[in-house]
Structure 1
């Protein structure tokens, strides 16, 4: 029987499941027609099970008190036991699919088998869907997005003509994918003796920058707002129809911002509007953003695992106009890009993973309590992809929140469109549809700013 050790960082997420926040990554793929099950099974076997052994292993903890968990082969493993076929009742609309997904958001993945499930969903009024659940202990959301995209092809017949789906490039999170690569040399290089002799001032800047980041991580607090409360076991998921990516690009170009700036600014505006609608004074809302730290040119390791950092972004939701929010979002994003924060949080995660289960859980809860939730902005493939011959029309995926975080936001760009989805805790945010409507309203306001600029 083969196995491999659960590394300390993966062990953090393995041990962090709570009734009010499971450590499960949730993904939805939308297809333009029915899926060929036989072709799909062959793709999953070849590109998932054979490629990444952790998908046929379950976590096992030894009998001794300080034994480390290991990923161990499941005897007689049959991956089809992890794939269920579902047909939604009429009308099979978006609300029906959202209700189906929401019904599983608080359901733990069984520990006596590999920690993943796939739901093949028919009965939709348009096409079909695939709902995938993956435990965070397998890998970070950035890596698992790449794994899912490796199941896809650039042409509908590539899976039967000998092609392979690993042409999907390494996907990171928004414009922040390059942050770590820029920040790491600044941090590590500043500590080399030659660099110290060459530029003492650079070292002082690096130390002060690091101290500022540490202060930010320790002192930032999640202010009282309509988005804060004690999370419960029930969640909801809602998402938008596809949005034209060219509209977002036009807004970005006119504002001298990036696409990522515009989309994150729209989230800030949505949360400002939601707070005001709830009768509260709008305040800035902190959110956590994952950052990729894997080399972009290398394939994923067969063992997968978690290798990511986090940055704490305070959304300017306290500002009153869409234009102000976009300008301030850009300023804050630019500041993060020049910061060693990703490198420092990666080191912090590595350290926490070695402190033991009780202390690591306490520290994750402490830092998790500083944000309302997690925001991912994933730039997917620019051209349509095919899964077992069926075209994928769009994708979404949420990473889990920790502590009492209540709002997960996923923004996914794909084949000329953008889709945004919200996962909320219903004990605190029972009406995520209002946040979704507010997001669209913010995009509309930014479009009007664009139109006004064009008339000048």
Structure 2
């Protein structure tokens, strides 16, 4: 059919059974959920008009996937769970919702006889799970689409606002006028660090592997039972730590919290036998386009404004190191900043996207999947960070109390998804429970790491 549209290379990759990524966005609301009202809102929303959300996945005789427009039956996409998720009366709403997400993380793939999205309404827990296949779009696209259905709590006629992290990075890079010598040095450093990344990327895809630790996963772990815990942070605390280290960013603080928290957890699980400075490598999926303004979303859906809908993602390999408690908390931030500054000088994410697209085009999705699968198996964890609205928002007049994101399992025993919303940042910690049996303690390690850094900054300022 002439109206059929091929999938993006990343979209085809996410459909491979070895990866098969489905995004789970958990949204809590203040008041009880009216099922009929939700169905009515979905039927009238921009989501139904979106080509991806109203298309079936089809394959031609050569196995190439395409999107084909179809009609939407809202009742098939809304799954109502009336009873409590857990039989244990001592389990609160947060833990019950996390148990539900843990089950979804290893559940079977979605029903391909309908468009690849669902909304699970957990009525007893005042929350909903938006289950969307990653082939439909990247995190920035999907978050922007979701927010078109929401309104600001303080202004019911206004759309939410989001600040693009890419714009912030670019403004930092372009700050001040530089001499020709400085620009040449910057270029040479970019070439050098990019070359180092290319070698590391190839090595990870072939044979280079992190040393085994109490958090290591590997091939087959994606099928193991999961648990989910939530680490909660105040953005004001992150900003306070950021001010304690010159030119640091929120991402510097976030990743230093990951490094410090993992060190504390490993020290608890394996107090002896781990070498000081041991490297653990994380895989971060990075969006390579700016967050579109919500008013521009319709143009983006139509392929206007030079940016088509889909997945435009690159890979960053982000190392953290194990240190004992003797390391000063702010040293984590300083070392992390130094590492991330090097990453910013490279074309690492763009290279990984380009090489993935090239392999997909000439060798097919099976080979591309093998390369990505090997990179996951040879590293220690996955991390992602999505920027949400700055202010409190409502959906259908119901105040949203939290927004949390996680996904189906990878071959990592540890996957972390950070989501910011209204001055808070909450990270879903998804683990293989036979490898990491105490994710609540791990989440607490992350929270305490940030508080220790905040205390260290406060101590410095009082001297």
Shorter-chain TM-score bucket reads 0.7 to 0.9
1:314 aligned partner = 319
Q: Compare 370-379 and 326-335 and name the one that shifted more.
A: 370-379
Q: Residues 408, 142 of structure 1: CA spacing in aligned structure 2 closer, same or farther, 3 A cutoff? A: farther
**Structure 1 residue 239, shift from structure 2 partner:** 0.8
CA distance in 1, matches of 2:322, 2:186: 34
CA distance in 1, matches of 2:287, 2:369: 23
**Structure 1 residue 436, shift from structure 2 partner:** 0.6
**Structure 1 residue 326, shift from structure 2 partner:** 1.7
Q: SS where residue 12 of structure 1 aligns?
A: helix
2:211 aligned partner = 223
2:110 aligned partner = 109
Are the equivalent residues in 2 in contact too, given 1:156–1:386 (CA < 8 A)?
A: no
Aligned equivalent of 1:43, options 41, 44, 64: 41
Aligned equivalent of 2:279, options 280, 284, 305: 284
1:192 aligned partner = none
**Structure 1 residue 288, shift from structure 2 partner:** 1.6
Q: Residues 318, 45 of structure 1: CA spacing in aligned structure 2 closer, same or farther, 3 A cutoff? A: farther
Say whether 1:360 aligns with 2:368. yes
Are the equivalent residues in 2 in contact too, given 1:52–1:304 (CA < 8 A)?
A: no
Are the equivalent residues in 2 in contact too, given 1:6–1:69 (CA < 8 A)?
A: yes
Instruction: Please give the residue correspondences for 1:37-436 in structure 2 after superposition, counting only pairs within 5 Å.
Output: 37-62=35-60, 64=61, 66-74=62-70, 76-89=71-84, 90=89, 92-107=92-107, 108-124=109-125, 128-155=126-153, 158=156, 163=157, 165=159, 168-169=161-162, 175=165, 206-219=190-203, 221-230=209-218, 231=221, 232-240=223-231, 242-256=232-246, 257-279=248-270, 280-281=273-274, 283-297=278-292, 298-299=296-297, 300-302=300-302, 304-318=309-323, 320=325, 321=327, 322-354=329-361, 355-399=363-407, 402=410, 404-436=411-443
Q: SS where residue 104 of structure 1 aligns?
A: helix
CA distance in 2, matches of 1:389, 1:258: 35
Q: Compare 308-317 and 392-401 and name the one that shifted more.
A: 392-401
Q: Residues 301, 353 of structure 1: CA spacing in aligned structure 2 closer, same or farther, 3 A cutoff? A: farther
Q: Residues 26, 393 of structure 1: CA spacing in aligned structure 2 closer, same or farther, 3 A cutoff? A: same
Are the equivalent residues in 1 in contact too, given 2:230–2:428 (CA < 8 A)?
A: yes
Are the equivalent residues in 2 in contact too, given 1:244–1:416 (CA < 8 A)?
A: yes
Are the equivalent residues in 2 in contact too, given 1:228–1:406 (CA < 8 A)?
A: yes
Q: Residues 254, 156 of structure 1: CA spacing in aligned structure 2 closer, same or farther, 3 A cutoff? A: closer
CA distance in 2, matches of 1:113, 1:149: 23
Any idea what the Cα deviations from partners look like across 1:188-218, whole Å, max 9, x if unmatched? xxxxxxx9xxx98877555433312202223
Are the equivalent residues in 1 in contact too, given 2:282–2:383 (CA < 8 A)?
A: yes
Any idea what the Cα deviations from partners look like across 1:336-371, whole Å, max 9, x if unmatched? 122211221121221232221321221111222342
Any idea what the Cα deviations from partners look like across 1:302-344, whole Å, max 9, x if unmatched? 5731112221111233464322212111111222122211221
Q: SS where residue 251 of structure 1 aligns?
A: helix
Q: SS where residue 353 of structure 1 aligns?
A: helix
Taking structure 1 as the reference length, the TM-score comes to 0.84
**Structure 1 residue 393, shift from structure 2 partner:** 1.7
**Structure 1 residue 50, shift from structure 2 partner:** 3.2
Q: Which runs of 5+ in 1 are unaligned?
A: 186-194
Taking structure 2 as the reference length, the TM-score comes to 0.83
1:30 aligned partner = 28
